[in-house]
Amino acid sequence: MTDASVFPAANESDLQQEGPLRFSFSGSGGEYFRIWIVNLLLSIVTLGIYSAWAKVRRTKYFYGNTIVAGSSFEYHGNPLAILKGRFVAVILIVAYNIALKSSGMVALLMIIAVALAAPWLIWKSLQFKLHNSSYRGIRFGFRGSLKQAYIVYLLLPFLSGLTLLLAAPFAHQRLKRFQHQESRFGATHFSFDATVGAFYKSYLTVFAIWLAGFVVISFLLGGSLFGLIMSGNMNSAAAGATSALAIFTFVFAMYVWMFLVFPIFATLIQNLIWNHTQLGLHRFQSDMKWTRVAYIAITNIIGIICTLGLFMPFAQIRYMKYRVESMTLIADGSLDHFVAATQAEASATGEGMADLLDFDLSL
pLDDT one-digit tens code per residue, 283-296: 999 999 999 999 99
Pairing, β 282-286 against β 327-331: antiparallel
AA identity, residue 193? D
> Hey, how many other C-beta atoms are within 10 angstroms of the C-beta on 21?
19
Cβ contact 17:71 at 8 Å: no
- Predicted confidence (pLDDT) at residue 342 exceeds the cutoff of 90: no
For residue range 233-283, what is the model confidence (pLDDT) as tens digits?
Answer: 555 555 566 667 777 888 888 888 988 899 999 999 999 999 999 999 999
- Number of domains, the chain: 1
Dihedral sign computed on CA atoms, order 43, 135, 319, 317: negative
Helix (H, G, I), strand (E, B) or coil at 234: coil
**What pLDDT is attached to residue 6?**
37
Q: pTM (2 decimals)?
A: 0.85
pLDDT band, residue 8 (cuts 50/70/90): very low
Residues 360 and 124 sit within 8 Å (Cβ to Cβ):
yes
Average pLDDT over residues 124-143: 91
Residue 7 lies in a domain: no
Residue 112 sits in which domain range?
79-191+340-363
Has residue 140 been placed in a domain?
Answer: yes
The answer to whether position 169 is within a domain reads: yes
User: What's the rounded Cα separation, in Å, for the pair 111 and 120?
Assistant: 15
Helix 312-325 and helix 290-306, axial crossing angle in degrees, nearest 10: 170
Specify if 133 maps to a domain: yes
Q: Rounded mean pLDDT of 132-156?
A: 94
Average pLDDT score, the chain: 85
Determine the Cα–Cα distance for residues 287 and 276; give it in Å rounded to an integer.
Answer: 12
Q: Which pLDDT band, with edges at 50, 70 and 90, does 92 fall under?
A: confident
The confidence score (pLDDT) of residue 361 equals 60
Contact 62, 72 (CB under 8 A): no
Is 92 part of any domain? yes
- Is residue 363 one of the residues assigned to a domain? yes
Q: Which of 65, 85, 84 is nearest to 75 (CA)?
A: 65
Among 144, 231, 145, 251, residue whose Cα is nearest residue 189: 144
DSSP state of 257: H
Q: Residue 328 falls within a domain, yes or no?
A: no
- Higher-confidence position of 197 and 128: 197
Residue 107 belongs to some domain of the structure = yes
Question: How is the chain split among helix, strand and coil, in percent rounded to 5?
Answer: 65, 10, 20
| Closest listed residue to residue 32, CA positions, set 294, 299, 319 | 319
